[in-house]
Amino acid sequence: MRPEEAYERLRALGFGDEQAAVLFEHFSDAERRGKLGHGFSRVEWLETLPDIEPGALPVKVDSSPGFDRWEGRGALGYLTLAAICTDLEAAPPEPARVVVAADCFPTGMLGHWVRRLTRAGLTAMLTATSPARLAHPAGGPALVGTNPLALGIPAAEGEPVVVDVSMGEVTYGEVLAGLAPAERLVPFGGEHAHKAFALALGLQLLVESQIGSGYGAVLVALRAEPADLTAFGEARLPGR
Amino acid sequence: MRPEEAYERLRALGFGDEQAAVLFEHFSDAERRGKLGHGFSRVEWLETLPDIEPGALPVKVDSSPGFDRWEGRGALGYLTLAAICTDLEAAPPEPARVVVAADCFPTGMLGHWVRRLTRAGLTAMLTATSPARLAHPAGGPALVGTNPLALGIPAAEGEPVVVDVSMGEVTYGEVLAGLAPAERLVPFGGEHAHKAFALALGLQLLVESQIGSGYGAVLVALRAEPADLTAFGEARLPGR
């Protein structure tokens, strides 16, 4: 799908200018980074969703120093996370804020959102839940989502470090985009797959302990000194 | 080493009753859970450290709603994390608190501390840094610690879920205890080892973005509804 077509099809789904621009920016960032499972293939996927509400807007329902709670209220998770980023940019944490988002799905490439927050001088850690697709390494039904963990840290020079690790060998997006077979939707790690399963489980229960049922996200944003990365020499660091 | 001997040797190092009891409880919990690299073998290791300060006490140096900052001030990291737990138990987060600890090493089995916080009705996420022992999967020198991530979530019935994942195939403690060869101190995951390396790097930079240089910890503690785990059926969940 060409970029112009993606944008037009988002508008045709009923999204306003601003919302379509947020979605388009996320999908094209994913394409640019080679994460095609989070790219324009998702526009086609959105078209298959039965109950999309293009006019829905997320709402900040609770706020106290160091803590905000949001509800998607039917908005796509992408739009809820974008609204949270806008809010953090306008009033940065002093020095830390935990943000919980309920009814927040799909959330896309989490690295996109933490990268955005590094531009506001923030270190950010973000996780989000998604439908159960990973079974326990010992077998049985799918119990947990691929529940990625993303971390973004501003660097003193050049691009920030952006880590974005799904707990699956492949992401559901890669399966959707025809880039990987569904059989590879297992916790990564081979003989150490119990570690990735445990992380996916722990992150899922962390989110659920805050939102109850459904899908959601937990973000921690911290004021940060930009990282001096000279000690890492020539090593290729994620996100750079 | 027998438990009584471990306790006596901790006292002989100069630790007071209270501090020796905290250390002993951590080491014996590790032994009980089969994490021998974090157990009594660490008493011998403490005896080899040149600059141990048994009388040092950690200090909370900054506090604002939703945020605390601690400094170890020469105390062992175990004791700093124990002091933070005591503080959170006495004044639980309403509803969230991020706690940063600088000069906080060694921190031991992180699952021990998050498990303790689940008993106070809190969901907790904890990471801590340690000397660089993991190289980039592409080769080169050790760049990052095994930097574990621990998550503890109270359960509605029975034991909490406690996830505690080191990013190494083995822990340094296992090497210390003679349970694993040093060559296995590599990011876990085999062909997906870049994921564990990325997590170790991201967690390290997260901590360093808050403490500067040295070793430290970042803890997120949240008031939580106990998790209903019936959907997981008979699956063996970590920590239970």
Are A235 and B143 a contacting pair at CB < 8 A? yes
A163 → closest Cβ in B150, B202, B232: B202
* Chain B hits for A99, Cβ within 8 Å: none
Residue A89: pLDDT band by 50, 70, 90 thresholds? very high
The closest of B12, B24, B121 to B82, measured between CA atoms, is B24
Looking at chain A, the whole-number percentage of residues with pLDDT higher than 70 is 100
Q: Which fold has domain B54-227?
A: Ribosomal Protein S8; Chain: A, domain 1 (3.30.1370)
pLDDT at B191 (0 to 100): 96
HSE of A38, CA atoms in CB hemisphere, 13 A:
24
Question: Strands (DSSP E) along B106-189, which ranges?
Answer: 122-128, 134-135, 142-144, 149-153, 161-165
B residues 115..144 contacting A (CB < 8 A): 123, 125, 136, 138, 140, 143
Are B190 and A191 a contacting pair at CB < 8 A? yes
Closest residue in chain B to residue A99, using alpha carbons only: B96
CATH number, domain A55-232? 3.30.1370.60
Are A206 and B123 a contacting pair at CB < 8 A? yes
The H-assigned helical ranges of chain A are 3-12, 17-32, 41-48, 77-90, 110-118, 172-176, 193-211
B210 → closest Cβ in A67, A169, A224: A224
Q: Per-residue DSSP letters for A40-75?
A: THHHHHHHH-TT--TT---EEEEEETTEEEEE-TT-
The closest of B126, B163, B162, B170 to B146, measured between CA atoms, is B170
A and B: number of Cβ contacts within 8 A: 168
Strands A67-71 and A96-102: parallel
A206 → closest Cβ in B151, B190, B225: B151
Per-residue pLDDT of chain B (240 residues), as tens digits, is 899 999 999 999 999 999 999 999 999 999 999 999 999 999 999 999 998 999 999 999 999 999 999 999 999 999 999 999 999 999 999 999 999 999 999 999 999 999 999 999 999 999 999 999 999 999 999 999 999 999 999 999 999 999 999 999 998 888 988 899 999 999 999 999 999 999 999 999 999 999 999 999 999 999 999 999 999 999 999 998
A residues 15..34 contacting B (CB < 8 A): none
* Chain B hits for A33, Cβ within 8 Å: none
pLDDT at A1 (0 to 100): 86
Are A222 and B201 a contacting pair at CB < 8 A? no
* Chain A hits for B140, Cβ within 8 Å: 233, 235
Question: pTM of the prediction?
Answer: 0.98
Residue pair A234/B183 in contact (Cβ under 8 Å)? The answer is no
The answer to whether residue B153 neighbours chain A at the CB level (below 8 Å) is yes
A residues 173..202 contacting B (CB < 8 A): 188-192, 194-196, 198-199, 201-202
* Mean pLDDT computed over A68-81: 98
* Chain A hits for B198, Cβ within 8 Å: 163-165, 238
The answer to whether residue A225 neighbours chain B at the CB level (below 8 Å) is yes
B67 → closest Cβ in A95, A161, A165: A95
Is the ipTM of this structure higher than 0.85?
yes
Q: Where are the domains of chain A?
A: 55-232
